[in-house]
Structure 1
Amino acid sequence: MSDHMLSQEEVDALLRGEAGGAAEELPDLDAVTRLFQRAFDQVAPLAPPIAGQRLETGQITAELLPWGELRAQLMSPLVAVWRYEGALQGVQLSVADASSRQQLKAYLDEEDPVTVLNKLALALSETLVQTLGAKTKPDISSYQEVDPEQFDPAPLRDKDTCVVLQLSLRGDKGDVSWLEVVPAQLARDMLALAERAAPAAEVPAAEAPAAPGPAAPPQAASAQGVSVAPATFEQLAPMPADPEPANIGLIMDVPLHVTVELGRRRMLVREVLELGKGSLIELDKLAGEPVDVLVNGKLIAKGEVVVIDENFGVKVTTIVTPAERMRNLQ
């Protein structure tokens, strides 16, 4: 047994639970915010229109809060849980309270706000994982109303620090906002993956070597017996700006099913049974709004309906990037 006597400071530290334990390492809040903002900005243009209009993404705000303190602030929220398995391990929460539902309901006619929130959460999660380059797919539960006092998603504990991000969509009828709650450890893992997945083009270029000093006079070179010859360089082949994926030629002749979606409408069984000759069905798209061009059911472009001879056609006005199209076709 050690004869070492504890000092009063060490006793106080033990009583506070600080002795022998390092402080929790917190993630870079600005870096986490930028990571989610990048994914969020990619989701909005690809998300389906809400009430015939596209909402714009707002600036994400973030803060660090213990889970217990955050839970005490929630009032009967809708919560969707993302459980990561694979390269990422942990739980992330999407939280929308009653005011969020009311904000979203102002943009909807018949569609359920919970259904729309589920679509947004799913799109954001898939885009975020693609941004990280992680070989994982989050298991996302649907939004469900929970009692904050009883909700305890393992392994979150009241003292665990979380990154709380507030996301918002902006439109003519006001902002629609909700929270993304990411435990500190999971946020650090995300940043580590994002750093490894960053393309080489984003790596700062090395400093240019210092300019050489003035050349020595020819007389000095010959005096020291140095042989001087003009420098020669090999011809550099031009690099393709956007190389095609390897072996893409093997699938060039594979047929794809291309469809153009003019619009959609949710109807009750009673309404469908009442349809007859001359019935009108109002779609969720406004007149003049671009139509969706789908390949095997995946959105690849938007365009305008035109008439070609005696047939209808589509003039493409907006197209998804090639990399995004390849992901959508998988």
Structure 2
Amino acid sequence: MNYETLSQEEIDALLKGEGGNQKAQLTDLELDTLGEISNIFMGTAATTLSSLVGKKVEITTPRIQVTTSSRLQIEHPLPYVAVKVRYTEGLKGTNVLIIKIHDAGVIVDLMMGGDGSNPPEELEEIHLSAISEAMNQMMGSGATSMSEVFRKRVNISPPTVSVLNFAEERLDFNGGNETDDEELVKVVFRMYIENVVDSEVMQITPISFAKQISSQLLAEVSGEPGLTPVAESGAEPDGIADDREDDREKVVRPSENGENGAAEREITVQPVQFAPLEAGQAPQETGNLSLILDVPLEFTVELGRTQRTIKEILEL
């Protein structure tokens, strides 16, 4: 048997390959689940945007792919508007919504009363403030839809809006500790705003947060324990309904010592009685009615071109 000594480069490559196998990976089912959740989220957000701009807004079924920060720099070199959304309750993590600067300008123009044909060439502070307000309402409604899906409260902090140049900057999810080869999930939607925008928006999510979202929904669908809805969501856990059924049974069913039976004997049941109707009240109004009947009225009826009084008609 021949033994060959590995070079340092080969050893480093093997060690790097071992570390790569430990990275979190998304299965096809998890990717499909994440796409469905993103579709629900953006669908609700599109409805909110439609009410803000006064035009019909459509979001198509998303396309999902796994990418990295370095690939984003190559594929999207132009500046974009980045909307950073941090989940604070129900889910813990951050994702970023990416919108083209021109599309953001059209939304601003529509919100300010324009027709969308004259968007600002550069987004100034007032424009970013308007976009921030729109994104705040859109992301808030999207979070509400996720609360309904997960059957528990999902809260976000107010989104932060900035202009991001992928060629020079990197998305910040964990305080700037991301690496160029860190894998991210890119969900691409086609956004159509009636007669003014036909473009794409992207939702970028770290792999770890994407797994958290998809695993929670899969666990909810499969009925695994540990995801009991909180009281604020409006949905009651199964145990509460059972306890209430037991309580109702305790109220109705007499106990063995007869205490409930004694309480029931104190209740007296009587048939409903109605007061007799007085038939002498109606004739009291006949006097006033007679006064009305005594008022003489003159009627004329026109039949064709001939005019006749009622008296003449009756005498015919």
- Please, what TM-score do these two structures have when normalized by structure 2? 0.52
Pair 82,117 (structure 1): closer, same or farther in 2 beyond 3 Å: closer
2:172 equivalent in structure 1 = 153
Shift of 1:68: 2.6
1:109-155 per-residue CA deviation (whole Å, 9 max, x = no partner) reads 43856132343233223423442345552224331224442444142
Structure 1: any 5+ residue segments left out of the alignment?
201-243, 248-330
2:216 equivalent in structure 1 = 193
1:119 equivalent in structure 2 = 137
- Contact 2:55/2:194, CA 8 A, preserved across alignment: no
- Write the distance in 1 (CA, Å) between the matches of 2:187 and 2:153: 24
2:104 equivalent in structure 1 = 101
- Write the distance in 2 (CA, Å) between the matches of 1:121 and 1:64: 23
- Contact 1:166/1:179, CA 8 A, preserved across alignment: yes
1:73-123 per-residue CA deviation (whole Å, 9 max, x = no partner) reads 242222122223455333211111213224535744438561323432332
* Pairs within 5 Å for 1:134-173: 135-148=153-166, 149-155=168-174, 156-173=178-195
- Write the distance in 2 (CA, Å) between the matches of 1:25 and 1:187: 10
Shift of 1:161: 0.8
Letter in 2 for 1:159: D
Higher helix share: 2
1:179-226 per-residue CA deviation (whole Å, 9 max, x = no partner) reads 1101111111111111122276xxxxxxxxxxxxxxxxxxxxxxxxxx
Pair 106,170 (structure 1): closer, same or farther in 2 beyond 3 Å: farther
2:60 equivalent in structure 1 = 58
- Write the distance in 1 (CA, Å) between the matches of 2:137 and 2:217: 24
Further displaced range: 21-30 or 103-112: 103-112
2:72 equivalent in structure 1 = 70
* Secondary structure, aligned partner of 2:95: strand
2:85 equivalent in structure 1 = 82
* Secondary structure, aligned partner of 2:86: strand
- Contact 1:80/1:140, CA 8 A, preserved across alignment: no
- Contact 1:103/1:176, CA 8 A, preserved across alignment: no
Letter in 2 for 1:198: V
The answer to which structure, 1 or 2, has the higher relative contact order (CA under 8 A, 6+ apart) is 2
Alignment: residue pair count: 201
- Write the distance in 1 (CA, Å) between the matches of 2:193 and 2:86: 31
Question: What is the aligned-residue identity percentage?
Answer: 10
- Contact 1:10/1:19, CA 8 A, preserved across alignment: no
2:51 equivalent in structure 1 = 49
- Contact 1:62/1:166, CA 8 A, preserved across alignment: yes
1:180 equivalent in structure 2 = 203
* Secondary structure, aligned partner of 1:78: strand
- Write the distance in 2 (CA, Å) between the matches of 1:6 and 1:89: 49
Pair 110,96 (structure 1): closer, same or farther in 2 beyond 3 Å: same
Pair 110,198 (structure 1): closer, same or farther in 2 beyond 3 Å: same
Q: Which has the larger radius of gyration?
A: 2
